[in-house]
Amino acid sequence: MSDTIVVAFSNQKGGVGKSTLTVLLASYLYYEKGIKVAIMDCDSPQHSLVGERNRELKTVSETEHLAQMAHELLTQTGLQPYAIMKIPLEETMFRIRQYLSGDNDTQVLFLDLPGTMNNPNVLQIISNCDYVFCPMAACKYDIESTLGYCQFIHDRLMTMGYGNLKGVKILWNKVDARERTDLYNAYDEFMESIGLEAMKTTIPASVRFKKELSCNPKHQIFRSTVFPPSSAIVKGSGIDELAEEFLKLTGVRNG
Ligand SMILES: Nc1ncnc2c1ncn2[C@@H]1O[C@H](COP(=O)(O)OP(=O)(O)OP(=O)(O)O)[C@@H](O)[C@H]1O
Ligand SMILES: [Mg+2]
């Protein structure tokens, strides 16, 4: 049996940043903090993270300076890119159990799930996670549906003690710095009144989240499954703070 914790970014709405935050947090924890991670990409049939990893490996193999960087990363740290597994959604429960009962040194297993609840597998999978983070953008309809979704998971799955859930947290994503923080604070207060909590870290809206690894040497690396994000661009992205808050919440430690 392993000590792996299972974590998912989840929301019944699509496009809220589940896959983006999964990659960014997994890579930051692995390449910067030395935490052993793996991702199960359960978002069938598109499996966007498996696709992203394959595109990156191709870009690295075809780009001299990136191939050199990959070589240096490997020789300096001994770190091969972490595993991203392609898992059909309907097999996910079985594959998680198999993974956890097998021999592995993974500390955090991330699940990338589809943006839909119209599938009984998803709720079962979520109740078997240790922690669930619900990304939420500051748009009225998103807020209402995300709060409803989170409250359901919190009240029905966590509080009733089904499965493994130890924490359900909202995570503000795509935050516009021009919007008033007292608006967010008011929502945070409301959430607390219904027993929900948001992560203290908020993730700003920024184009850097959209850009995959590029062969252009002038482009800084941020979102990547094979390299750590460059420190200059991490600053102000919220990812470093998210990682620290995540480690504190879960108690996961390097080594
Ligand atoms: N903080 C952010 N700032 C700007 N763009 C962002 C941010 N977070 C995510 N995005 C963008 O939002 C889009 C949707 O993100 P992503 O694919 O991660 O969402 P998802 O919840 O996984 O969607 P799906 O339900 O389709 O799987 C992407 O183009 C992504 O780059
Ligand atoms: Mg996704």
Per-residue pLDDT of the chain (255 residues; tens, 9 = 90+): 568 999 999 998 889 999 999 999 999 999 999 999 999 999 989 999 999 999 999 999 999 999 999 999 999 999 999 999 999 999 999 999 999 999 999 999 999 999 876 777 888 899 899 999 999 987 777 888 888 888 888 887 777 777 788 999 999 999 987 877 777 888 888 888 888 989 999 999 999 999 899 999 989 999 999 999 999 999 999 999 999 999 999 999 987
Of 37, 42, 14, 18, nearest in space to 27 by CA: 37
Rounded Cα distance, 128 and 107, in Å:
16
In a domain, 240, yes or no: yes
Closest ligand by atom to 209 CA:
1
Work out the widest C-alpha separation in the chain, in whole angstroms: 54
Q: Please report, for the domain that includes residue 31, its CATH number.
A: 3.40.50.300
User: Is residue 101 one of the residues assigned to a domain?
Assistant: yes
Residue 136 within a domain: yes
Tell me what pLDDT residue 143 has.
Answer: 86
Residue 174 alpha carbon to ligand 1 centre in Å = 9
Q: What is the CA(68)–ligand 2 centre distance, in A?
A: 30
Q: Is the CB of 223 under 6 A from ligand 1?
A: no
Q: Give exposure, 62-92, as e/b (b: 16+ Cβ within 10 Å).
A: ebeebeebbeebeeeeeeebbebeebebeeb
Angle between helices 48-62 and 18-27 (to 10 degrees): 50
Q: Is the CB of 20 within 6 Å of ligand 1?
A: yes
Q: What distances in angstroms separate CA 123 from CA 6, 113, 118, 119, 171, one per listed residue? A: 14, 10, 9, 8, 19
Residue type, 239: I
Query: From atom 16 of ligand 1, which residue's Cα is the shortest distance away?
Result: 17
What would the DSSP string read from start to end of 97-113?
A: HHHHHSS---SEEEEE-
Number of structural domains the chain divides into: 1
DSSP characters for 52-98?
HHHHHHHHHHH-HHHHHHHHHHHHHH--PPPPEEE--GGGHHHHHHH
Asked, for residue 219, whether it belongs to a domain, the answer is yes
Give the ligand 1 atom nearest the CA of 46.
27
249, with CB counted inside 10 A (0-12, 13-18, 19+), is middle
What is the pLDDT, as a whole number, of residue 1?
54
Decide: 47 in ligand 1 pocket, CB within 6 A: no
Q: Among 12, 13, 20, 225, which residue has the most ligand 1 atoms within 8 Å of its CB, making it the best to mutate? A: 20
User: Could you list the residue range(s) of the whole structural domain that residue 32 is in?
Assistant: 5-247
- The ligand whose atoms approach the alpha carbon of 16 most closely is 1
Residue 186 confidence (pLDDT): 84
Q: Answer yes or no: is the C-beta of 17 below 6 A from any ligand 1 atom.
A: yes
- 254 falls within a domain: no
